[in-house]
């Protein structure tokens, strides 16, 4: 691969990231400009959800949505980092980096959340607890970010194999399910969830494009490389 080809591959994620960021920014501006008023698709999704809530489905949705907040997503980020590394030092560095990545994304999200200050759907339509403003959805954002980190780690460690792709698909399905439950339970408009996914995609795209894993993770010395280095120095 030539130097030009390498640069093209490196810039490709940035192009996708720029597109996601532009769409997210446009959606945020429109939502803010409408003072948070729902779009027709938002009302249609909420009306459908309220009309299709048997007790069993609601209980399942509450269980799924609970995995998108609290300590679990942060443990997922740490697990992704531990999976990326190959030795103790690498694993600790990667786990700390993944956690910092998630925390930084959350900090910026809160800035957007309070900047747009979009009201949630009517409380009478809620089927679970919620707080603060609506855009972008915190559960949808957090689960998508963690899913992205886990997929990144699995692909980095597992290579191009069918079980790897299957696991990645399951992880993505989990994040999508968490986002959809926020609409189903009536605590978010559909465009809040879409905004969360766009924001998470932007942040993950920046990570893929700008974070060189090979340089970020220190070389692990527990695999016998110390011995090889010492032999080389003695020559």
Q: Is residue 128 part of a domain?
A: yes
Q: Is residue 169 part of a domain?
A: yes
Provide the number of structural domains found in the chain. 1
Q: Is residue 231 part of a domain?
A: no
Cβ within 8 Å of residue 116, ≥6 positions away: 28, 31, 32, 36, 133, 135
Q: Is residue 5 part of a domain?
A: no
Q: Please give the residue range of the domain that contains residue 129.
A: 13-219
Q: 187-200: per-residue pLDDT in tens?
A: 999 999 999 999 99
Residues shown for the chain: 235
Q: 32-88: per-residue pLDDT in tens?
A: 999 999 999 999 999 999 999 999 999 999 999 999 999 999 999 999 999 988 889
Q: Is residue 235 part of a domain?
A: no
Q: Is residue 48 part of a domain?
A: yes
Q: 117-142: per-residue pLDDT in tens?
A: 999 999 999 999 999 999 999 999 99
What pLDDT does 211 receive? Answer: 74
Q: Is residue 198 part of a domain?
A: yes
Q: In this structure, what token pair is assigned to residue 71?
A: 């300590």
> Domain of 88: which CATH number?
1.20.144
């Amino acid at each position: 691969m030539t130097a030009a080809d390498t640069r093209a591959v490196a810039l490709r994620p940035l192009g996708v990231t720029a597109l996601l960021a532009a769409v997210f920014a446009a959606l945020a501006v429109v939502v803010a400009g409408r003072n948070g008023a729902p779009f027709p698709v938002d009302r249609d999704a909420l009306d459908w959800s309220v009309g299709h809530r048997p007790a069993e489905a609601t209980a399942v949705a509450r269980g799924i949505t609970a995995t998108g907040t609290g300590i679990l997503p942060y443990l997922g980020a740490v697990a992704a980092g531990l999976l990326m590394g190959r030795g103790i030092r690498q694993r600790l560095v990667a786990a700390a980096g993944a956690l910092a990545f998630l925390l930084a994304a959350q900090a910026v999200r809160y800035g957007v959340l309070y900047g747009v200050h979009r009201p949630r759907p009517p409380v009478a339509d809620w089927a679970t607890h919620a707080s603060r403003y609506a855009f972008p959805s915190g559960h949808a954002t957090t689960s998508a970010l963690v899913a992205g980190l886990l997929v990144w780690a699995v692909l980095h460690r597992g290579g191009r194999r069918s079980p790897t792709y299957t696991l990645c698909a399951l992880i993505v399905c989990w994040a999508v399910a968490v986002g959809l439950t926020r609409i189903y339970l009536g605590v978010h408009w559909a465009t809040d969830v879409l905004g969360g996914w766009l924001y998470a995609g932007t942040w993950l795209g920046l990570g893929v494009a700008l974070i060189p894993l090979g340089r970020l993770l220190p070389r692990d010395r527990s695999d016998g490389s110390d011995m090889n280095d010492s032999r080389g120095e003695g020559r």
